[in-house]
Structure 1
Amino acid sequence: MNNQLNANQNVSPYIYRYCTAREGLPRFREKLSRSDAVTVAFLGGSITEGYGASDPDRSSWRALTEQFLQAAYPALTWTFVNAGVGGTNSTLGAHRLQSHVPVSDGIDLLFIEFAVNDSQHREHSAEGRAETIRSMEGIVRQCRRLSPQADIVLLYSADEHNLAEVDPFFISVHEEVAVHYGLPSVSFSGRVRDWLAAGEGTWEQLAPDRTHPNDAGYACYAGLLREFLDHVLKPNSAQSAQGTTVLPAPLLEDSYGQASMRDMSGTYGVKLLHMQQRPENMVNWRYAAEHLASDSPEAEFSFDVNGHGAGLLLICGPDSGILEFAVNGGPFQTVNPFDEWCPLFWRPVPVRLASQSQVEAMRITVRNTAMKDERSTGTWLRVLALLEH
């Protein structure tokens, strides 16, 4: 990381090595001094949700950070939003931001944590880099547009993949976005890497499954973040009293700055699909899970978008089948969403249906089929939400 934490100040080497202040948190610092109510949101995957902690709402890095802020500013009324969802990368994060974080109502600080899921769900390639930029800057641009008073921090958690890389690919891509928008970033991964190199212990001692921290691992993460916050929120911090309010041009024109997740009320021409409740044994989704479902090969529906692209958020599991879709009356294309996790449980799975370089109006028609993956026990189509950007 390009560590630039105001070297002219008395800054602990502990945070100087792993944190980059850039613009800092000027709006948030000012809000702490002049307001009586503050809202902080946490957007990320299972590490943000707190998987692996003995009590996610007490001993995860998120919960420990909440406790630190409440103790440091006890006179304020705090609202904390846990928008961590296991198994979700920054693409789905950009689409579900407005549904799971009250950015339209106004938040004051947003933590974003997707480095691990981005690295586990994408190829180290030019397209993997581009998709990550589209997603991360889409989150940033949405937040800046809808909650312009909010500050944003990017967080980089550790896993066995980025710990094995000299210059972790996806952390570097997230840093491109952080640099472009002047956002502070904190590398939990860098702290863990040095901890391991110093022979202080093994990765399994902090994360038994080599991805999700236990209480000791989360305490390590929270300790670094606490020192960073303590530094940038000091009244004598050299960071500007006014953050940047004008958005720079996007790194990519087709970034997800207009992404959204819509419920199924926007569908029409619905045939042989019916609303169902949450499947049993569904994971990675703490929100309402009412969805349209059918195992009929004649089931279909349509929806309209006006943007760069569209997709679906499916509920996939042991009996999921193969679907097909067409754009603006064109030929139908098949999509098989079944993967290695489907035999184990039901979970949300995003699928991309259309992607265009320019904004255009599209009518998407989705049909079920009688086809299925050889590992599947059925041909069910379950649609939880519509995705567009």
Structure 2
Amino acid sequence: MEIIRHRSRLKNTLRKLVQGGELSVGFLGGSITDARPRHNWPEAVIAWLVERYPGVSIRVENAAIGATGSELAVYRAERDILQRKCDLVFVEYAVNDYYVPRERRAQTREGLLRKLLADGTSDVVLTYTYNQDMYEDMANRKTPESISDFEQLAEHYGLGSVWMGLHAWQEVARGMMRWEEWLPDGLHPTSRGSLCYAQSVIGFLERELGAGGQTVDAACEAERITLPVPLNPGNWENGWTLDLTRIRREGPWSLRRWPHLEWIDQCLVTSAIGSRLCFSFQGRGFTLGLDFGTLSADFRYRLNGEDWRSVELDRPDWCPEEGWFLAVTVADDLPAGEHLCEIEVVHGNRERCRGSRFQLAFVGIISPGQ
């Protein structure tokens, strides 16, 4: 088992550092990468870049969100990373994708990576953290499936990777850090564990960027790349979002600028049970992006005038009243052609279904990959 794997040079990053000016660094991931705790591993990586390159303005676009995975990120990449022209992007979803069905996460992960790599202007590095269900595999010197699947993509696309969780595991084994210092709650590092994660990423960067010298050679010149044929032809590379203003409404809906969650620009909002939405689309399925919590409603839907189907959304013990940016993929295997979808708000007569709010941030359309 290896902590660091170097596969190709960080050409865009090297060019920006040598030329001076500005380097834009992006992060995608879950709560272990989220900027809001202010102690997660990106903080030490950013501090190292600032110290190492004092003549370069380091701009940070940390778009990681707790309790989210690549299923949501594939729709957010354009707004939160690509439009902000990130030169170096770290992707951390080995943990939050862990319980997602293998085929689904294969499609969303590869779709996300192909979006990030499409124009050749972003270097992408994969980073893998740890959850407790990885313990048995790692204790037996095996690579957990969620990580080995990512490594297959890393090999296919020539992406460097850092197994931060393995680095921390080995530090505990060496007596350099206590387990409770690494994972006080069993999953989320605080300052000590986050610094350990960051040290493995910094080690990766020291070798990658140290090899760049003080000049930009031909290998580091900007170039438009041609992506290899995808491993999964059903990947979500071509996923797109509907314009919320084009969704037909029945009942007391409003379209609001959204002040409650910074990753959402606008929401279609109602709290009236029985309110409906209707939209048509070309694609094989769709995902709803919701500002969700225990005060949220459930819903039902029907496609092309067929029978209604109920969707009862899980509300785990840690679920907040609202503020969880939740991706709900309703259908992903529809036949080719145009489809009509109707959605109706349902209160839900279940434990922890305490409200009737329906707060729709986007409708993502799943189109076939290339």
Q: Aligned residue for 1:12?
A: none
Q: Relative to 1, partners in 2 of residues 1:28 and 1:344: Cα closer, same or farther, differing over 3 Å?
A: closer
- Write the letter of the residue equivalent to 1:326: R
1:148 correspondence with 2:137? no
Cα deviation, 1:331-363, whole Å, max 9, x if unaligned, reads: 221101142247642122221122136654332
Question: Residues of 2 paired with 1:35 and 1:140: CA distance?
Answer: 27
1:134 correspondence with 2:114? no
* TM-superposed deviation, 1:87: 0.6
2:43 to 63, 67, 75: 63
Question: Residues of 2 paired with 1:135 and 1:354: CA distance?
Answer: 14
- Write the letter of the residue equivalent to 1:241: A
DSSP 3-state at the match of 1:220:
helix
Question: Residues of 2 paired with 1:69 and 1:359: CA distance?
Answer: 47
Q: Relative to 1, partners in 2 of residues 1:294 and 1:248: Cα closer, same or farther, differing over 3 Å?
A: same
**Aligned ranges 1:289-328 → 2 under 5 Å:** 290-328=266-304
Question: Residues of 1 paired with 2:84 and 2:258: CA distance?
Answer: 28
DSSP 3-state at the match of 2:295:
coil
1:99 to 62, 75, 79: 79
Q: Relative to 1, partners in 2 of residues 1:270 and 1:77: Cα closer, same or farther, differing over 3 Å?
A: farther
Cα deviation, 1:186-245, whole Å, max 9, x if unaligned, reads: 0011112222333444322112111111111111111111111010112458x9925892
How many residue pairs get aligned? The number is 356
1:114 correspondence with 2:87? no
**Aligned ranges 1:187-266 → 2 under 5 Å:** 187-235=163-211, 241=219, 245-262=225-242, 264-266=244-246
2:14 to 29, 35, 60: 29
Question: Residues of 2 paired with 1:97 and 1:113: CA distance?
Answer: 13
DSSP 3-state at the match of 2:277:
strand
Question: Residues of 2 paired with 1:148 and 1:277: CA distance?
Answer: 33
Question: Bigger CA drift: 174-183 or 192-201?
Answer: 192-201
* TM-superposed deviation, 1:48: 1.1
What TM-score results when the alignment is normalised by the length of structure 1?
0.83
Contact 1:26 1:240 in 2 (8 A): no
Runs of 4+ in 1 over 6 A off after TM superposition: none
1:87 correspondence with 2:67? yes
Question: Bigger CA drift: 341-350 or 360-369?
Answer: 341-350
Q: Relative to 1, partners in 2 of residues 1:79 and 1:184: Cα closer, same or farther, differing over 3 Å?
A: same
- Write the letter of the residue equivalent to 1:108: D
What TM-score results when the alignment is normalised by the length of structure 2?
0.87
Contact 1:316 1:337 in 2 (8 A): no
Question: Residues of 2 paired with 1:105 and 1:307: CA distance?
Answer: 27
DSSP 3-state at the match of 1:356:
coil
Question: Residues of 2 paired with 1:308 and 1:148: CA distance?
Answer: 28
Cα deviation, 1:229-275, whole Å, max 9, x if unaligned, reads: 010112458x9925892211111111111224556323124433234
* TM-superposed deviation, 1:24: 3.0
Q: Aligned residue for 2:132?
A: 160
Q: Relative to 1, partners in 2 of residues 1:293 and 1:358: Cα closer, same or farther, differing over 3 Å?
A: same
Question: Residues of 1 paired with 2:266 and 2:317: CA distance?
Answer: 21
Question: Residues of 1 paired with 2:336 and 2:60: CA distance?
Answer: 35
**Aligned ranges 1:7-26 → 2 under 5 Å:** 17-26=2-11
Q: Aligned residue for 1:274?
A: 254
* TM-superposed deviation, 1:277: 7.1
Question: Residues of 2 paired with 1:64 and 1:250: CA distance?
Answer: 34
Cα deviation, 1:119-139, whole Å, max 9, x if unaligned, reads: 2x42xxxxx222222121111
Contact 2:20 2:55 in 1 (8 A): no
Q: Aligned residue for 1:378?
A: 355
Contact 2:312 2:348 in 1 (8 A): no
DSSP 3-state at the match of 1:385:
strand
* TM-superposed deviation, 1:29: 1.5
Q: Relative to 1, partners in 2 of residues 1:177 and 1:270: Cα closer, same or farther, differing over 3 Å?
A: farther
* TM-superposed deviation, 1:174: 1.0
2:331 to 347, 351, 354: 354
Question: Residues of 1 paired with 2:171 and 2:148: CA distance?
Answer: 20
DSSP 3-state at the match of 1:382:
strand
Question: Residues of 2 paired with 1:27 and 1:277: CA distance?
Answer: 35
Cα deviation, 1:154-182, whole Å, max 9, x if unaligned, reads: 00012222233232121111111111111
What residue ranges of structure 1 are gaps of 5+ in the alignment? Answer: 2-16, 123-127
Contact 2:90 2:124 in 1 (8 A): yes
- Write the letter of the residue equivalent to 1:30: R
Question: Residues of 2 paired with 1:263 and 1:222: CA distance?
Answer: 39
Question: Bigger CA drift: 190-199 or 225-234?
Answer: 190-199
* TM-superposed deviation, 1:100: 1.7
- Write the letter of the residue equivalent to 1:49: D
Q: Relative to 1, partners in 2 of residues 1:24 and 1:132: Cα closer, same or farther, differing over 3 Å?
A: farther
Contact 2:294 2:315 in 1 (8 A): no
Question: Bigger CA drift: 215-224 or 242-251?
Answer: 242-251
